[in-house]
Each structure stands twice: as structure tokens, then as C-alpha cells.
Structure 1
Amino acid sequence: MNKKEVFHFLKMFTQRELYFKESMIDKMEDNSNQFDIYRTINGENVYRYTFEKHLDHFIEKNPQISKHIKNSPLLIYKHNRFSYTPLHSHDFIELNYVYAGNVQININGLTITLNKGDLCILDTDVIHQILNTTENDLLVNILMKKEYFTSNMLSRLASNSIISQFIVNSISEAQYHDQYIIFNTQESEPLFDAVNGLIACYFDKSFYSADVINAYMIIIFSELLKSYKKEKSMELRKTNHHYIGDVLQFIEEHYGDCSLSDVAAKFSFNTSYLSRYIKSSTGKSFVAIIQEIRLNHACALLKNSNYSIEHISQQVGYNNITFFYQKFREAYQLTPNEFRKLHTPKKLE
């Protein structure tokens, strides 16, 4: 399967969808009876979905790709149209991506409509249900084990960027507080392309590759970070305020020679106010952020170039190489030379 065939693949009716369609009544997803039920303080019955049982059910229905996914921390499938899910919670992170049409999800008693291109991340333990869908509503579900979401995705996205670190932390806090977060990504062609690539690779047993799937997931989450930053920035601009993410982005782009007063002038802030704003928003001082950005870039150059230590020091904004060595050792407990040796691939003999 290639990317251009994904829409046709999703649009085809499954046997269950044909059954649901022909029955002419709303149908609940048929694998719910595999799961335990608990009762909320409001007296509602809630199914407790687990990743392992979902995976077993999926493998039973898709034996042609079972050997590739039996140990995978990811599970991807199309939600059956003409059906709904009961109230449920789960022990995994779930991404709901509306490929076409629109879908209504009831989350903690609140009904939310997701339109084509919208994506919703649902945390573990949040009570929700997908309401009845029609023929034109194509919903892609991506289930992730908790450890995959935290360690594999977010840590890699935030590893070398102060703005990515901040947005990842913001998303994590929003996820923790609200248990879900919605991204409006209708205008993101890279995300749509990545979803197509992800589905094409996942369901094609001859092209399945865990590395390629992880790469597509990195692209998807990178686009979500961009979407989150853009939306927060627009929200605050409407109230004549600047989003701290825009400030951090400017600092990251000009870290080599910008000063606090330069940043204050760019955003029409008083320098003292800007200093407090940065500290209260990130927990770090302006100087600490500059140091972190410079050292992140120095690490990338040490790992991926043959430049001399002195050249790297100057390139990232340290004119005093002794000071560079001091700050680098404080951050990593290694000298730049030791760091480079540690991250230099060994040559095959």
C-alpha cells in the first residue's frame, strides 16, 4: 500500500461496518464485553479497556500483520463506522485523528465535535465514549503504551530545543490537568502526509518497519507542537499579550548575540518585567536559558562535526573558551573532548 491508497483503504467497508449499516440501528462496538466494568460515583457503568486485550483482538482480526505488531507499543486501527463505543477508560494514551467527516466524543460528560484534520490526545483513566458515526466519518485511532508516549516521543522531541522543551512540558501539564487536549491541525499538510505514511506502512506486511513508524510518529508530534504553539500565540495576541513561546522562539533564533534588552525591545517589554515573565513562565532565568541553548547547540556540533573545540565555542557564542569549558563541565560532568569521544561511533575493524 502507498500513501495515495490510504483513503481508499479507510473508505472500504469492513464486515462489521456492513453489519452495522444493514442493521439500521445504532450498534455498540462488539469487543467491549472482553473488558471489566466498574461503577463511578455517579452510578455509571464504565468499561476498563486495556492495551493488551485490544492488541489481542486486533491480531485476531488482522492475522496478516500479527507477527509485526505482537510486541509493538503502538496499535493503529480505523474506528468502525455506524457504531459507537460505550463509556470507557483505558490504561494507554489514545490519539483520535479525524481523517474525514466529523466525530463527536463525550469526554467527562462534555460532548466535543472534532472536524476533519482535528486530533485529540486522551490520557489514561479519562472516561469517554465515541458517539455514533456515519459513512463519511473516518476516524483513525492510535493507541500507545504510556512509556512509549513519554520516553520515546516527548523526550526525543525536546532533546535539543528550548522551545520544544517548553511546549512539551506545557502539553504534559495540560494533559495532566485536563486529561485530554485537542489540536486543530486542518491546515497541516505534513501531519496529514505523515498519517497517510503511518497507515500505509503499518498495514502493509511487506513494508512494515518499526523505525519508519517511529519516524512518522516523530513527525506527527512535531506538527502537534507547532500547532499548539501557533494556537496559544494567537489566543494571547487577541488579548494584546505576547505568548512566552514566541519569546523563547526569538531567543533560540538569536541566542548567539541577543541580550535581555534586545529581547525586551523586540516585544516592547520593560527589561525587568521580561526577566520576571521568563522566570515565572519557565522556572529559568534569561541567562540560564541562553546558556542551555548554547550548550545544546555545542553538543550537536560535537556529535556531528569535526570542528575544533575553540571553533565550536565561538560559534555558539562563547568567546572565552575557558568559560565554555567551565559551563560545559557544570552541565554534563564531562569536558567537550570527553563528550565528543563518548558520542563518536566506533569504526568497524
Structure 2
Amino acid sequence: MMYDCNLKIYQTLNVQSEFNIGLLLLYIIEGSSNISINGKTNMYKSNDMIVINDLDHYRILSSKKSVIACLFLSRVELDKFFRFNKKYYINKDKLDLSVLKFYMNKLIVNYVNDQSENEKQNKILEYINQLVMTLHLYRKLDGTIISNNIDVYSGINYMYEHYKEKLYIGKVATQCLLSVRRFSNKLEEVTGMRFNELLRNIRLSYSAFDLMYTKKLISQIANDNGFTNESGFITHFRDKYHITPAKFRKQLENDHYYPFHNKNTTLLRSFEHINDQIKYLTDRDVDYVSIDINMKNKIRSKISTPNLLIYIRDIETLTNNFQQSKLLSMRREIGLFGLLFSHQLFYELYQSNFENNKLVHQMFSFSLEHQFDISFEVKLGKNQNIEVFTLIFKRLLNYLTDCTYFYGQRSFQFYIDASYYQFNRISKIIQDNLKESKVILVLNKQNNYLAKRMSHKVNDNKQIACKVHHEIDSDKDITSILKNNPSLNILYQPNIPNRIESLISIFKWSIAFNQNISMIIDDTWLDSMIPSQSSHLMIKELQLNKESHYQLFELILTLKRLRGDIVYFNGLILMTHYLNEYQIIIFPNMKIFNRLHQRININGFKLGEIEYRHHDILIKNNQLIINSDGDNHKNMAEVSFKREIGKLIVQFYTSPYAIKHIYIKQKIN
């Protein structure tokens, strides 16, 4: 249903003056158009793409023969479907318009083609999603928009957040630190609307969303969106959209509704005469990219492979036979990894007599007998009594001392999230009881400043780590700290299991800046990450976990198997060399918009006859609808090798949807 109102193709499009709340994308298919954005007018011609930002004031004047595709997305759609999280402003200086053009072309082709309604809708939704997720990458996350009207913009945002309430202009003006008269004048100057009209339009925007995507009664929609009664809502809706809410909902099914209404704007009714132009615009494709790699040029000696920690929240993870088998299966596949006992788990155990708890004995018995590296999370609030905590904490250390006697393990790790004073107190207690253990101060938003002053404190048994939950590039504070402190470790703990893009981003960061990274995986994700050995359990898991997270496990497994020297790394391609083996990882390129044929020329390649294996890790890029094309994926998976004197040529395809791993080694006859 989304595209029925969002995407339209106009024979002529003229808008005298409009204030945009949301994102508006225009694509000139034929002809030309004068478009003014915030007072700056430009002439746009065929194949030009225009992005009109949130809170932009615009005017469109088109020639009679111009054909323009228009895609509009309201704020509520951007938040509900694409997780914009109230950050709508796009940094157009960094935006790659060629990507948007490609998706827009695909969108238009599927919109005008004759095909079944379901197939048409699925493909259109897929390309809308790809296009909008491309915009999502270029949002301004810090919220800074350089403008003389920032106070008015904050008032508009406040109106959006409180549109359901009884809002008065005085209350909003106070939020903006302006007088009512000053705010009213500036609001009309910026938006072309008075306060009541803008508030009404915001409420109508949310009402239109409910009409499109919910089955609520019209009376309920009116009540939910701040209107005093149903009749008033219907009147206002008809005045703005030139149609009643009931007819609006009905006409969505026939695609008759369109957002711009004036005498000089008409929809394109027949698509026949633009088919050739659309074909011309969409047929241009990327050929291939060739990269030369010289084996003599090594970036540095060793690659730092990521560590893996399983975050233990539930004692059953280490006492239940089924869960134990999962961990051991993972151990066989992935090699060494550690267990990180959550603070919450031990806080609950502290409340009871855990020294005599059989489940606790069983938990440590399993962990130590199978020689897992054991770590503990320790969290202290600012106002927490350190004396009371140390008494309880010493009981745990005493218990661990007994474990070292029975099982032989001498070293544990303690990740301490506390103030520097508390950290020193706790680390001294640990060193007094378990001398070979390591203590790591976990930096958070409150004590990031310590990173700049503590490089001299780092040694074998005392370290500093910075915990992140998302892409590092999006956090300027963390970025600057990590760049200036290469001795810091990165603790990556995603909040949800399918953040593959974040893991890739942070892993590439660790390579670029030679920093150690530890990935923390929640124990509740094990069922969906690691397939069972028995077929009946596998079927049961598939039923319980409709969205398997096996891709995450497969990616971690691939990264853990990297070893040796880094031969080449450009942010998208990583190549390592170890004895008689080479590994190549091609990361997904979010800036490409179609299959891209790539060729790597490895100069100075000295191995004789080779054997290889490769596989693709398909990732989900937060798509609304994912259609897998079997033939296309088969072509994507193809890898070819060609030998020349002193050179190996590797050819393959890449896409935004897959990580490709190629393993090459010398063949022994």
C-alpha cells in the first residue's frame, strides 16, 4: 500500500510555494524544471535527481512537456518503517546521487510495467526501501542544521512530538524562547502557514498514515490524532486533500489518489511514450572495477583477529545439556572463545548463598573443565556503597580461588564499569586474591575523559576498553578517543543480533587503526545462531526462529579464521597471507546499486598449483521485503581464477547484499 500515495509520475508538476515536512525526491524523466529550494533556483533536466530536505521551502515550475517522478515520505513513515528516529535531515554534500538514480529508475520501471499486482507491489517496496535506506546512511545524526530559523524548527519539532495534546501557540513559543508574536511571524515567514494551520496539517499527516496502514475506524483516527470530533476531522481532511477520509482509503486500492492538487499539475495517465526514455536511463550499468595488489607491499605484520565473548545472562546456558551442546558445537566450529558472566546474574546470586548452590558448582565445573576463558562484568553506580560491595565481591574471589585449586585455571578477566576511584579499589582487591587476573576499566559516556589521561596506566594486568553498541563512525566522541588511544580495546555489544553492518564497520575500524576488538554475543541468541546437530531439533528451531541469525555466526566464524599478514586493505577488500594460504574478504559495498564485476590482479603470486573454496554470507540490510532471486545469486557466487606469469587474476561479482570470502592455498599432490 505504501507506493499508492508516495510515488507518482506527473506530466507537468507545478507547486507555487510549499514547506516540506518529511523527504521529497524528484526525478526528471523528460523535459526540464525550475526548482527553487530555500530561495536558490536551479534548472534541472532529464536524468537529474533532486532531494528536498525536511524543513525546506520549495517551489516547482515545469515546462508543459516535462515528465517528473515524485516520491514523498512523511516523517511518520520515515520513523515507523525506516527507523530514522527523528533525524530526517540528509547531508546532500556527501550523498551519492548515482545510487538514488539507479533505485529511482528501478522504481519507475516496475511502476509503469504491466505485471501482477502482488509482484509489482513487492518490487516497488523493495526499491523504495533500498532508496530510503541509502538516504538513511547520510542523515545528520548530531542534529545540527545551520540556519537562521533554528528556533522555529525546534518549535515545529515540538509540535510533532506533542500533536495529540491541546497545543497553544504560547506554549510552543515558550519552548522556543520567543514571544508569541515573534514566533507567529517567524513561523509564517518560514512555512507560509499560521500556527493552527501547521498543527492541523501535522495531525492530518498522522491521520493519513492511519488511513493507509491501519484498519482503525475514522472516528478512532480522529480521536487518536488530536481532533475534537469526527465531523471536524472529515472537514479538515477534505479541505486539504480534496477527498473525504473514507474515499481516500477506498481509492488507495485503485491508485487514484495523488498529493499535489492545482490547475497546472496533472498526472501522467499513459506511460507508453516514456518507455523508451526509461529504458535508456536504466540500461546504463557499471562494467567492472580492476584492482592491482602487490605481494611485496604489506601493510603491517599481523592481523588482529577479533575475540569472542558469550554474554551469560542465564545460569541455564551453562547447566542445561541442550545449551551446553550448543556451546561445544560452537567451540568445534569457531575455536577458542570466552564466557562473560553478566553483572545481573551474579547480583542475583549474591542475594543467595551461592557458595552452596549446586547449579553454580555445575556452571563453573562445565566452564573450567572445557577450558573456556572466563570473564566477569562488574558494574557500580556513582552512589553505590563501595564498602558493602567489596564484602560481597570478596566472597566471589574466595570462591574463584577454590576453583583455581581444583581445576588449575589461574587467570580470570574482570570488566569493571565504575568510576576511577572504585576501579582502583576493586582492582587492588583482585590483585591481592588472584594475582594473574586482568582488570579492564570499561569507559562509558560518563568517564570517556579518562581515556586521554590513562595511556600510561595500561600494562599486562590493567587495561582500558571502550564499549560500543553501534557503528563507531556515528559517535564523534568515541571516534576521537579511539583514534588518539590505539592501546584501547573495543568491546562491541550489539543490542539486537542482526546488526551485521555494525559488526563489519567496527571490524574494519579495528584493522584500519590496529586495535583489538572483542565481540560480545548474548546467550539468548545461541538458539537462532547455531543450528542443532539433530534434524528434528533443527526443524523445531526453524519454527521458533523465523529469522535465523546464522549469518551472524557465520560472519564471526569467518573473521576468527583470518590469520597472518595483511597484504591489502582498502575498506572494502581485505587480503591476508599466511604461509601457503591466502584469504580474501570482500565486504558489502553500500554505494553500489547493482551487480559489480570486480577483478583483482595479485602481482608477485608465487604459489604453484592452487585449490580454493569460497562462500557468500547473505546479509539483510533492514529491508521491508526481501526477494531472493536464485539465478541472480548463482551468478553472484561465481569466482574464477586465471594464472599469468607472476600473477594470479581473481574475478567475481559483488553486491550490497553479501560478504564474499575466498580461501586460496597451495595444492599438494
For the superposition of Structure 1 and Structure 2, which TM-score range results when normalised by the shorter chain? 0.3 to 0.5
Q: TM-score, normalised by structure 2?
A: 0.23
Q: TM-score, normalised by structure 1?
A: 0.39
Q: Which has the larger radius of gyration?
A: 2
More strand as a share of residues: 2
